[in-house]
Structure formats: C-alpha cells, structure tokens
Structure 1
Amino acid sequence: MKNNRNRQVVLKSRPADIPQAHDFEIVESDVPDLLDGQILVQNVFLSVEPAMRGWVSNVANYSEPVRIGEVMRSFAAGEVLQSSHSDFKPGDKVMGMFGWQEFAVVGPAAVTRKVQEDDLPLSLSLGVTGLNGITAYFGLLDIGRPRPGDTVVVSTAAGAVGSAAGQIAKLSGCRTVGIAGGSAKVAQCRELFGYDEAYDYKSDNLDLALGKACPRGIDLYFDNTGGVISDTVLRHLAVGARVVICGTASFPTWDPWPNGPRAERHLLVKRARMEGFVIFDYASRYEEAVSRLSQWIRDGRLRYSEDIQNGIECAPAAIAGLYRGENTGKRLIRIR
C-alpha cells in the first residue's frame, strides 16, 4: 500500500515471567505490497489474552515463542482493504492472527474466520463470539459435559472466558458458583452474568464459602487459574466430578516447575476426571459455537463486558494489567 506507514508492537526482550511494557517497543515500517494470494487487513481491534504470557515465554508451550524483534502475536479483527485472493474482497470483516499492528499483510491461513454477524459489534469477534466464547463453549460442553442440576464452579468467573462458561452452564440447567478477585468483579458475576453465588478469593474464606455454597459437592469445575484456588476447590469435588483445565493464570512462571498439593487423591476417592484442552484443536467446529453464541446474545441470554483501551500505545502494558486484574471485561485495544 503506497505511502502508508504501519505502526507495530514488537517483542524487545524475553520476559522472565509476566510480560511488562518495557519488554515491547513500537516501531514503524512500510506496508508491503501484496503477493499473490495475500490480503491487506486494516486492524480495528487488537486482542489481549492471558495466553500471551506463554507465547513470549521460553518455556515449552503449545506454540513456538514469539522471536525477539518480531511483531507480537495476537488475534485481531478488522477490514480487508485489498485482496489478491479469490476468497476475500475489500470490505470483508475478518478475524485472525494478524498481530499487534495497524495493518497486516497475510495469507488465508492467518484468517481464523470471516465475521458474518453484521448485527453484532465487530469487537465481539475477539471476545464472546471469538476465541474466548468458543473456548468456554467447547470446554464446558464437550469436556465438562454439564447435566441439569449440576453444581458448576468457575474460577476467574468475571473474565472473558469464565463469564461465558458460567452463563453457558446456566443455560444447561446448572447451578453456578463464581470465584473472582475483588468486590466489583464479584458483584459483576452476580448482577451481570447471573451466577447463583460468587466469592472473592482475596477476602472471603473460600474453603468455608464453597462448603456452604456446595453442600453436595462440586460436579464440574471450570479451572482458569490452577494454584491455591484450585487446591481449595478440589477438596469439595463430588463423586464423578469433572475438572476442565482451561488456564493456569495463577502461576507467574513454569520455570522452575511449581510445587504444591497433589490432586491424585481427590481424583481417586471421588472417581473424578481432570482434562485439559487447547481451543485450536476445535478449529473445524468454530462456526457451530459462533452460531449458538451469537443467537444467545441476540436473545438476551448471554451477556458480556468489554474493557476497551484506545490506541496502539496502550498495547505494551496491556498484558501486565490483565494479570493485575485491572480489566473489567474482555480487554481490547481499539486502533484509532
């Protein structure tokens, strides 16, 4: 694209644990011309994910780490400006792995999906109708297999994934208990996302609270944190419980490997099952999830919250803020 400059957030240094603003820098470069089969996307929203910590870590993960000097890996949503690929035309709305930058020249493999939900905000394609909502959908329904009447506990219950998981559990006929950090997020769990009970792990006696809230035990635990919170939850599992491992946000680093209480005895005595999953394994079924999530939103049965910051300048500090719990919904960067 002639005479246009592209601002990009690149990885400047390898973080020791949670990436900070000083680990990134904003650079400018020319927008390259398209090669055959490529498209030019003008990003409108950049996503901020807890998983980004793993993407820049040297510790083994499910994907190769972002290299020093490389544009920060990120999902983004925007509009196709130019296309040399027959499947895309200017004006198409797309979501995919476009990186923390204003413009992205990519091939079709980088596009996760075309955004067809014209009646919904484009930002949702990075949140409740994007990978966050899709993660909650498959994690809860395929891995957790909720049954009507089950007691379902969700950690980071006000987060982008947790809030959707809790609401999908309610739609499945379950009783829901949320765990969040701070009184504002606990109130959000109860008032916006409809949890039957919600507790602040920072101030409530979580062990005592779960005992009172779940007198027959916990049938399904949607785990976004690991760590001390999950150690407490495991003590309250019901016979035949399912534990869905979605994230490990409570651990700042996996090197050295953290020590703590063991889950084996709980799983054995309660005849429980613990299973992890990576949402990219469900790529062939994304549209199934998006279709149902979108309809629940239109029907007023699935609610969401967004934490939108303006300007690419906000991106370098956005991950650290996420881990400090500063966001009050799905964290996004809107490109001005």
Structure 2
Amino acid sequence: MSTEIEIGRSKRGKRAYSLDDIAVVPSRRTRDPKDVSLRWQIDAYEFELPFIGAPMDSVMSPETAIALGREGGLGVLNLEGVWTRYEDPAPLLAEIAELPEQTATRRMQEIYAEPIKPELIAQRLAEIRAAGVTVAGSLTPQRTQEHWKSVVDAGVDLFVIRGTTVSAEHVSSDEEPLNLKQFIYELDVPVIVGGAATYTAALHLMRTGAAGVLVGFGGGAASATRKTLGIHVPMATAIADVNAARRDYMDESGGRFVHVIADGGLGTSGDIVKAIAMGADAVMLGTALARADEAPGRGWHWGQEAHHGQLPRGHRVQVGQVGPLSQVLHGPGESVLGQQNLAGALRRAMATTGYLDPKEFQRVDVVVSPYQPVHI
C-alpha cells in the first residue's frame, strides 16, 4: 500500500514516522531478562553491547572511548576534533562548557579553526590501542583523502566515514571526490559509512563494500539541519527503509551482510529499543552518552555542525549529567526518564516481547502510536 499523500495539486510526499510515532507490541511469549543476549559482532570484532559512542567531542575522548570499550561497547574518536588539534584540549573543553549562548558559536568556530595534526591522530589512537580495546576513529568524507593514511598507519581496527549525509556518488566540479568503492576496496580495514536516510542511498553505500551503514540525517538533539537546510528524515522510516535495502542487497550480492546502525535522535532507552525493533543491528549514541559524568562535554553536547566555519547548523545543548558511564549503561536506574541503565532497558524490552537477541527482536510487531508523547 502506498504511503504517499497529496500535499498540494503539484506535489506528493511520502508519509514518514519518527521513533516517537511508534511503539513495540508484546507477544504471547515472555522471557527471563537474564537469558537475553545483547552481543553484537561486526567483521572480526565482537561486543557485549550493540552501543557505539558517537564521534563527537562532547561524547568521546580517548579516555571515554577506552571506558566504553571496557563496558562492552565501541567508542569512536572524532579525528577532526580538539583531540587531534591540541596537545591538551582540556582547558578548551572547559571553556566551551562555560561559553554564554550568544557567543558560543563564534568562539567554537575559532577553537576548531586550529589545523589537524597527523601526529596527534597517531598519538590518540595509540592511547586507545594500549588499553586493549577495539580502536575506531572517524573522519568526514571531506577529510578522508587527506588523513586516511595517518589513521591506518596508527593501527585503527574500524574506520568510520561519517557526515550529515554521505553518498556513493558525490559530484564536484572543483575537485576529485572520494571514490568510496575504490577506497574501501583498497583499504584493509572494515569501514562503517553514513549517514544515509533512504533506501536508494543506503543500497549504493552497501555496494561500495562497507561493513556497516549509519542511518540518520539531522535527527540528533544537537542538530539544526532541519531548520537550516530544510532537510530531515524521521528515524523510524529511515531505519526500516535502510533495512529493506540491506535485505535486497543480500539477495543481490549472494548473501553479503551489511550492518545497519541507527545514528541520531536516540536520547533515551526507549528510542534505542525502537531503533532495533525497526531493523538496526546497533545504535550510535550521542546525547545518551554525553550525560555520563566522564563525558568531555561536562553536561553539554555538540557536533561538528555546531562550529562549521561557513554554515553552522547545530547547537551546543545542555543535556546534564546523570551519573557515571557504568550507571548510564548498566544501572541501577534512579529515574523514569530512560537515561540510565540503557542495556537493562533493552534487555527487559526484548524479554517482555519474547526475544533472545537483537537480530530476533527485529521481527517484533510495532504499532503507530495514536497519541503524542509527553517530552520530559
């Protein structure tokens, strides 16, 4: 059945749903939460939790990437952030947390104007590797050709190419664009790439040989892409469409499996539950982890869009601090806001609906909620 609706006589649009619009439906069977496994594996790397720390300076430092790895997740370091621009970024992070709203964007643009130093890329990734956890770093497509060799030479395990939107067919009249398919083919490291928000875009990214595709476009708490560029795709529909692209690509490729990773708009445990129910294998968390006491943002959260030199399209937002990282991930929860014990909530939701692992849980029934949720 078509979901297109008539907007006006000359324009039709697809009806799309956000995670707030849907809810998971219990089934006839329930499970003991202790029997539920949240384990996730991509390529040769296995994790106790399907949680990835977003490569944002307010979320991941080398120390928090290590801490998340020890807690069972995967931390991805932003290799274009303050950690690769400054030998000691701590004073600058403290300054960002204290900036008044009216001058925050301009001052952040000045801070991030400092050039990226390849030797610091190697140093930061070496710090993570020395801790014995999986090493992952992120570059935007615009910076990948310039810095990828420094990343690979440093011994990264997983390479993330992340942007607001990433296509397999970027066209430029001024410079030679990154050929994703050739780049991934020649790189001896698994690559996660995105964001993608449509069936077609995701299918093309899967054909490049990527190990995983990030799903999302302007849906995070710190993003203003919808207001600035007028572009937005609700996450529930985006995940379901990309999951369909993955299914069709498996048929096309003779069984090659590409991981679907929800990225953006996942601020609470309920959002995580619904993202996996819609077809995500794992989730990339920004706001949810920025609330941890150890997060570099000190209760503030921002992405690279917030300090773009020409067209800022993000906010520095205050998300607060709700406890140490271990409590954010594993509890105990001390409030009903879905900000603590993220793993416990996912495990209990799966048990309540009768599923033992995230892959099974993708088959759960969902409904479109007939009410507007109360945002707390």
- Confirm or deny a common fold (TM above 0.5): no
TM-score computed with the length of structure 1 as normaliser: 0.34
Question: Which is bigger in relative contact order (C-alpha 8 A, separation at least 6)?
Answer: 2
- Report the structure, 1 or 2, having the larger strand content: 1
TM-score computed with the length of structure 2 as normaliser: 0.31
- Report the structure, 1 or 2, having the larger helix content: 2
